[in-house]
């Protein structure tokens, strides 16, 4: 059994991290630019990720998953994102859904979905955001009314990753729209594709391309009552909040990966490019940038490790996950921009990978809670912990 303590990384875990890194270098780096510029879904890459076991990375071994600790998983995400961030989103959204089912689902729900999710046969997503509700999830309008043994769902979702080529979503709905406070009327449904589950279309994005981020419409879509997560209505908001901790650790890791990848590209270019008779890394202005970039990368990694350690220990980690996500995503945006400056005019050419890192980075500051919202979360948690 793989230990859950982040600091008890076994040889098997480290070998898996190393194997994923080798795979990413061999399989992702040569094709990333092609898929990104074409905005084409990487079906072959997804099949390879299934074979590697990435879709079962954090799912328990009893369900056919790898049972990796959050820290080991975070290291994998950093490695993948340092080469091409987008594929990490395919298994991340999926694993947040799986984590919610494993943590809060009934035994029947776990038995029905987790083995298929671990193999990648069933690939899932998280159906939270709506056109009028992003950070304020309590403002969602998608409603599920119980009729007999089925919920009838009507509403819309947007920015849902994995929704075109995936097989279902963990759908946040209002089962009691009149409930006060609002969160007590919210529930999660395990929603498989079927009549009334409509993928409206793939969204065109500045970055994070190749991945199927779509709008969804639910028109009298019917879900078995047995697919109510945990079997009790009104728990959806709390169940969602628990899943966001792992999601924020992942986004932090993606941001740190972008930061690390940008730093590596900048370091190489700074040694290859010369100006005024010497390699540009010897110019103090470039040295300052490289030093700041490296410091932000390492600082973000330590905060990610801290959050993952608490998550693995089963401790509350909303403060740590928020700080990690803030630091990781800001490091990604900072390092990508600084690398663009080091590359100079060439940074604007699609022949250089750094422009993709720059386009991908900003999403990390927005997804899984905007950094502005997270700053308020951090402040509130600090005051709660250190009350005068």
Total count of residues recorded for the chain: 388
Closest CA to 287 of 308, 269, 270, 268: 270
Q: Is 368 a catalytic residue?
A: yes
- Distance set, CA 78 to CA 37, 89, 103, 319 (Å): 22, 12, 24, 21
Closest CA to 335 of 283, 258, 270: 258
In angstroms, the CA 388 to CA 371 distance is: 27
Residue ranges with strand state E in 82-231: 124-127, 143-147, 150-161, 168-174, 186-192, 197-202, 213-224
Catalytic residue among 47, 121, 368, 384: 368
How many CB atoms neighbour CB 152 within 10 A?
Answer: 17
- The dihedral through the CA atoms of 271, 274, 279, 282 has a sign that is negative
Give every CB contact of residue 152 below 8 A, 6+ residues apart in sequence.
Answer: 144, 145, 146, 220, 221, 222
In angstroms, the CA 98 to CA 120 distance is: 11
Strand-pair category, 124-127 with 168-174: parallel
DSSP-assigned letter for residue 27: I
Check: CB of residue 338 under 8 Å from CB of residue 289.
yes
In angstroms, the CA 157 to CA 140 distance is: 9
Q: Give me the active site residues, please.
A: 368
């Amino acid at each position: 059994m793989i230990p859950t303590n982040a600091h008890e990384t076994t040889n098997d875990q480290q070998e898996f991290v190393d194997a994923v890194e080798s795979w990413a270098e061999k399989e992702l780096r040569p094709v990333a630019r092609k898929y990104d510029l074409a905005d084409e879904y990487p079906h072959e890459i997804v099949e390879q990720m299934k074979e590697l076991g990435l879709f079962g990375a954090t799912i328990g071994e009893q369900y056919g998953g790898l049972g990796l600790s959050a820290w080991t998983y975070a290291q994998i995400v950093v490695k993948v994102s340092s080469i091409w961030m987008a594929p990490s989103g395919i298994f991340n959204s999926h694993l947040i859904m799986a984590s919610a089912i494993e943590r809060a689902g009934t035994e029947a729900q776990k038995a029905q979905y987790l083995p298929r999710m671990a193999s990648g046969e069933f690939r899932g997503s998280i159906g939270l955001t709506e056109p009028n509700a992003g950070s304020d999830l309590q403002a969602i309008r998608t409603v599920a009314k119980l009729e007999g043994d089925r919920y009838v769902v009507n509403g819309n979702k947007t920015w849902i990753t994995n929704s075109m080529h995936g097989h279902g979503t963990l759908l946040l709905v209002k089962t009691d729209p009149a409930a006060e406070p609002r969160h007590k009327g919210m529930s999660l449904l395990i929603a498989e594709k079927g009549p009334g589950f409509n993928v409206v279309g793939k969204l065109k994005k500045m970055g994070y391309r190749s991945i199927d981020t779509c709008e969804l419409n639910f028109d009298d879509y019917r879900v078995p009552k047995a697919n109510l997560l945990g079997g009790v209505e009104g728990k959806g908001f709390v169940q969602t909040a628990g899943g966001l901790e792992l999601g924020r650790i992942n986004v932090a890791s993606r941001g740190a990966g972008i930061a690390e990848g940008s730093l590596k590209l900048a370091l190489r270019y700074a040694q290859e490019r010369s100006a005024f008779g010497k390699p540009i890394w010897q110019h103090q202005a470039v040295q300052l940038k490289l030093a700041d970039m490296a410091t932000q990368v390492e600082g973000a990694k330590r905060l990610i490790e801290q959050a993952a350690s608490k998550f693995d220990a089963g401790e509350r980690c909303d403060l740590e996950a928020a700080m990690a996500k803030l630091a990781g995503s800001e490091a990604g945006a900072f390092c990508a921009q600084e690398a663009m400056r080091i590359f100079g005019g060439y940074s604007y050419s699609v022949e250089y990978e750094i422009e993709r890192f720059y386009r991908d980075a900003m999403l990390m500051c927005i997804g899984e809670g905007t950094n502005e919202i997270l700053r308020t979360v951090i402040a509130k948690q600090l005051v709660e912990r250190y009350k005068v």
